[in-house]
Amino acid sequence: MEDSSQGSFVTTINEDYYESVCWGCGLNLVLPSYAPVFKCGWCGAITNQNPVRPQTRSFGLRRVRDRFFVAILAVFMLFVICGGIWAAYPVVFSISLVCGIFHSVIAVSLAMSTLSTFMVVAFKCAGKPIDIVYGTHPGVGNGALNNYTFCHTCAKPKSPRTHHCRTCGMCILDMDHHCPFIGNCVGAGNHKNFVAFLISAIISTSYASVMCVYSLIHILAPLENGAAYASHAKSASILRGVKSIALAYLSNAIFISLRGLILLYLFVASVSVAIGLSVLLWQQLSYIYEGKTYLSHLSSQGSEEDGEKSCRNLLTFFGCPLSIERHLPTIRNLRKRHKT
């Protein structure tokens, strides 16, 4: 029915439709009854009529778990630093004073770098979303909240790359993942610090493993019949020669001292940690190269959405100057020509 005198229109709504309100701009919308999730045609906000609220019952247990893992990691780093200095550096100083001072400076520098980056990434805010205006039609422009969703736990809008962390109890901007070993999320605020921590930890553990092997060689008793092992290595293949020398050292390792046992354990632990962190660093750099985070990579699986793979993403992430970016198109074109 139309009333032209008052300039208003009255329309009956079919039973297959219902009225709803967009949380982004506050406009009334007429939607099909089978549409629990809809996108506003004005502001672009996405509304979920049946939101899944995160469980908060195990929030305290997850925080205790994170504190436990952080304590384990801190104790391990202190053990590698203090145990390595106690076990390796008497051997290094016995060789030469200059050599001992040189390696001491390197060890202290790597230890301070690793511990400082760990403290920053663990206690720095992972990324707080920006407060924006929502809920009023005059204040929200056309497409201002495109693909935004609403977090019912924080009672705030979420951008497409913002996720709510159940462990931290807040929304994280550009959230990559929640790492229990640092007790914090990795997001826009500390992602660069997290990558710097991985690089520093890999260099430190690699250096520790090399120094452990170097010290073990000087601690173990000299090989008996060294000339025979050397001639065997020359006559046979290199692999067999290395195997023979390794077996000789293992036979002498029966009489290894406490210092040697600690060096052996530090070597195995350092190599294991270095390998694991190297895989994690490669994964992080791959996602950055693709212009994604770990969570956005998971959400884009099975869809046609794909980020722009470019070295520019890496340079932008690390804050490199624009002068380096000018050479990237040439490199990209060379790769395309090579493929064709």
Instruction: Report, as an integer, the average pLDDT of 35-48.
Output: 82
Q: Among residues 189, 188, 199, which one has the least CA distance to residue 124?
A: 189
Q: What is the CA radius of gyration of the chain?
A: 30
pLDDT band (50, 70, 90) for residue 253: low
What amino acid occupies position 313?
Answer: N
The alpha carbon of residue 23 and the mean position of all alpha carbons in its chain are separated, in whole angstroms, by 33
> Does the pLDDT value for residue 305 go beyond 50?
yes
Q: Among residues 14, 27, 22, 13, which one has the least CA distance to residue 49?
A: 22
Question: Could you tell me if 245 and 274 are in contact, meaning their C-beta atoms sit under 8 angstroms apart?
Answer: no
Beta bridge partners of 170: 165
Q: Among residues 146, 195, 160, which one has the least CA distance to residue 300?
A: 160
> What one-character-per-residue DSSP string does 27-61 give?
-EEEEETT-SEEE-TTT--EEESS--PPP-TTHHH
pLDDT band (50, 70, 90) for residue 256: low
Q: pTM of the predicted model, to two decimals?
A: 0.78
In the residue annotation, 99 being an active-site residue is answered as no
Among 179, 185, 311, 320, the one annotated catalytic: 179
Q: What is the pLDDT of residues 133-154, one digit of tens each?
A: 888 877 788 888 888 988 888 8
Question: Could you tell me if 124 and 189 are in contact, meaning their C-beta atoms sit under 8 angstroms apart?
Answer: yes
Q: What is the pLDDT of residues 261-297, one digit of tens each?
A: 888 888 889 999 999 999 999 999 999 988 888 888 8
Residue 335, number of CB atoms within 10 A of its CB: 10
Token pair 């060096």 in the structure block, residue = 263
pLDDT band (50, 70, 90) for residue 206: very high
Q: How far apart are CA 292 and CA 307, in angstroms?
A: 7
> Does the pLDDT value for residue 234 go beyond 60?
no
